[in-house]
């Protein structure tokens, strides 16, 4: 079995590379390589059968020099503090790349949300919120959905926090249901933002969206909506993958029938309109675009050599290991890195937080327009840095994000 990568070290590799261009003062650089605060908690949950289970949960606030901590909470079996720290660091650069006034944070609970009943999931969420209470708040740290958490989980967090405060505090989380102060457009924001950056990248690379042979790994919120939207725009979805395996059809997969098949059977496998493959087999198929939108480290030294694609757009956080990244750059693959490509989610989270703080309701059209403006601007800025320094897009995005955070740290100075 492949050794589990050390995610945080992987994340720092990009920061070290960015610092070759930035030459930050030693103290500032060292500070950027360490999380500000991390909390590990134990979460006792009464299970439906009357037994007790104990889950480990984490919240890491990586850097909050530019504003309150911001980042999702994921429920994922085997998640570690190392992985949460890496994800919190990525959130820090991501918020800075799209220039929204937040720091970076992330949370996670080591559990398999797919086998928990709704009641068990609710009790776990409420107790986790209770344990996080000293750390979170609209001005301190604002959680959001991530892998295997959704608007229902956000509603429970908001309710538990509000009950403890004694009044309703919708802006303690983003990604809430619209009926509780959630923002229009939040559910599809990550995939819409990703598509905006893909369109920009395609223009820059002289490619064409029509018939773009695309494989999408992951059929959750980001994977599903990205595939669906690209399909609507004329791309050919040749491959899809979920946690059970992959399917492939070079002539294209029909997105509405596959969605129905997944709902009915719980998996993509054995779909009439495609062949079953392993994820690694799918990665080896000739494509124009791959969207990894599932787990960390999905593209790694074990499968990178066989990849035959022109572009990778990272819907997930940290889907390409640093070693695989080097191989892809050598192959000339254009990579839209996570901290740029999937930032649409946190951008609309920012809109949701702003609306909540000001008790305003923005229209869908307004949200889409503002999202497009922010994503296009960030893409252009990263592209310029990449060209000016003759470097890849991940390094360029990291240069931009880290530079903005470093400037905030420098201006604030060190307390006391």
Strand pairing report for 37-46 and 311-313: unpaired
Active site residue 9: no
**Minimum CB distance to ligand GLU smaller for 343 or for 402:** 343
* Alpha carbon 374 to its chain's center: 17
| DSSP state string for 224-282 | HHHHHHHHHTT-EEEEEEETTEEEE-TT---HHHHHHHHHHHSSSTT-TTSEEE-HHHH
CB 88 within 8 A of CB 170: no
* Alpha carbon 260 to its chain's center: 25
Report the half-sphere exposure of 37 (CA within 13 A, side-chain side): 17
CB of 148 to ligand GLU, least distance (A): 11
* Distant-in-sequence, close-in-space partners of 410: CB < 8 Å, separation ≥ 6: 25, 28
CB of 151 to ligand GLU, least distance (A): 12
**Minimum CB distance to ligand GLU smaller for 193 or for 239:** 193
Cα(342)–Cα(347) distance, integer angstroms: 10
CB of 409 to ligand GLU, least distance (A): 21
Indicate the SS3 state at residue 102: coil
Quick one: DSSP state of residue 213? Answer: E
Cα(1)–Cα(178) distance, integer angstroms: 43
Annotated catalytic residue within 70, 106, 121, 262: 106
CB 393 within 8 A of CB 399: no
CB of 352 to ligand GLU, least distance (A): 8
CB of 83 to ligand GLU, least distance (A): 13
**Minimum CB distance to ligand GLU smaller for 70 or for 121:** 70
Residues that bind ligand GLU (CB under 6 A): 70-72, 144, 146, 174, 317, 342, 345-346, 349
CB of 144 to ligand GLU, least distance (A): 3
**Minimum CB distance to ligand GLU smaller for 215 or for 349:** 349
**For residue 89, what are its two tokens?**
């660091």
Indicate the SS3 state at residue 108: strand
**Minimum CB distance to ligand GLU smaller for 239 or for 319:** 319
CB 296 within 8 A of CB 90: no
**Minimum CB distance to ligand GLU smaller for 195 or for 346:** 346
By annotation, the residues acting in catalysis are: 106
């Amino acid at each position: 079995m492949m050794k589990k990568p050390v995610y945080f070290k992987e994340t720092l590799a990009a920061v070290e590379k960015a610092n070759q261009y930035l030459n930050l003062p030693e103290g500032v650089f060292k500070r950027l390589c360490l999380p500000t605060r991390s909390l590990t908690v134990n979460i006792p949950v009464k299970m439906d059968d009357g037994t007790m289970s104990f889950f480990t949960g984490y919240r890491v606030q990586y850097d909050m020099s530019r504003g309150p901590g911001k980042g999702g909470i994921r429920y994922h079996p085997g998640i570690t503090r190392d992985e949460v720290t890496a994800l919190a660091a990525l959130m820090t650069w991501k918020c800075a790349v799209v220039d929204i006034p937040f720091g970076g944070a992330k949370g996670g609970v080591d559990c398999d949300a797919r086998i928990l009943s709704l009641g068990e999931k609710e009790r776990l969420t409420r107790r986790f919120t209770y344990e996080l209470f000293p750390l979170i708040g609209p001005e301190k740290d604002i959680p959001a959905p991530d892998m295997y958490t959704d608007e229902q989980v956000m509603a429970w967090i908001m309710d538990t926090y509000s009950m403890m405060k004694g009044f309703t505090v919708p802006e303690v989380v983003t990604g809430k249901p619209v009926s509780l102060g959630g923002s229009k457009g939040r559910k599809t924001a990550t995939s819409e933002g990703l598509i905006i950056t893909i369109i920009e990248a395609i223009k820059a690379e002289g490619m064409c969206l029509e018939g773009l042979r695309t494989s999408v790994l992951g059929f959750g919120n980001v994977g599903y909506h990205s595939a669906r939207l690209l399909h609507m725009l004329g791309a050919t979805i040749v491959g899809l993958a979920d946690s059970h395996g992959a399917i492939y059809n070079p002539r294209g997969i029909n997105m509405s029938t596959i969605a129905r098949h997944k709902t009915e059977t719980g998996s993509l496998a054995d779909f009439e309109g495609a062949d079953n493959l392993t994820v690694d087999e799918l990665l080896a198929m000739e494509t124009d675009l791959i969207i990894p939108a599932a787990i960390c480290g999905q593209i790694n030294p074990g499968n990178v050599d066989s990849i035959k694609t022109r572009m990778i757009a990272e819907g997930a956080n940290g889907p390409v290991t640093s070693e695989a990244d080097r191989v892809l750059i050598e192959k000339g693959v254009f990579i839209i890195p996570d901290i740029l490509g999937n930032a649409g989610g946190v951008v609309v989270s920012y809109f949701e937080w702003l609306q909540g703080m000001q008790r305003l309701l923005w229209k869908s059209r307004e949200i889409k327009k503002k999202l497009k403006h922010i994503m296009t601007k960030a893409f252009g800025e990263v592209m310029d840095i990449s060209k000016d320094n003759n470097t890849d897009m991940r390094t360029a995005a990291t240069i931009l994000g880290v530079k903005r955070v470093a400037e905030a740290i420098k201006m604030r100075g060190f307390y006391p």
